[in-house]
Amino acid sequence: MKFQGRTTTAIIPFPENKILLIKRSTPPFIGYWALPGGRVDPGETVEQTVVREVKEETGLNVQIVRKVGEYHEKGVESGYEYDYHPACFLVQPSEGNLKRQESEISEIKLFKLEEVPDVLAFVHKQMIQDYITQKTKHT
């Protein structure tokens, strides 16, 4: 099976230098930690998608702060071929109660930036590193 297309991800910062990660329970990255996000629906912008996907996956309403970057990830994982073009955004939660989407997410957790797990889906490790670099420049 092949997964491809335009996607989005969100870095959601929390106090104490933490960010929110979700553990996927759907292919191709079952069991991998990831930033919240998902596929862009037809007629939707990447900005609309990241806000919608974060709400669906985490229960949080967010506002976009800025784009972190554009990425590309291609490969095969557990027999699934993937070719994604994610846009990563820094977002700020505005309201809502943190609650995981049970159909796609097995766990949701806040991690300190220096304690982010190595088992990350796609290029999320690079996205987080780019965020840390940008954060240093903006402070």
Active site residues: 107
Which ranges in the chain belong to alpha helices (H)?
46-58, 124-138
Instruction: Tell me whether the omega of the peptide bond preceding residue 28 falls within 30 degrees of 0, making it cis.
Output: yes
Q: Among residues 63, 90, 128, 88, which one has the least CA distance to residue 6?
A: 88
CB of 17 closer than 8 Å to CB of 113: yes
Distance from C-alpha of 110 to C-alpha of 103, rounded to nearest angstrom: 20
State which amino acid sits at residue 9: T
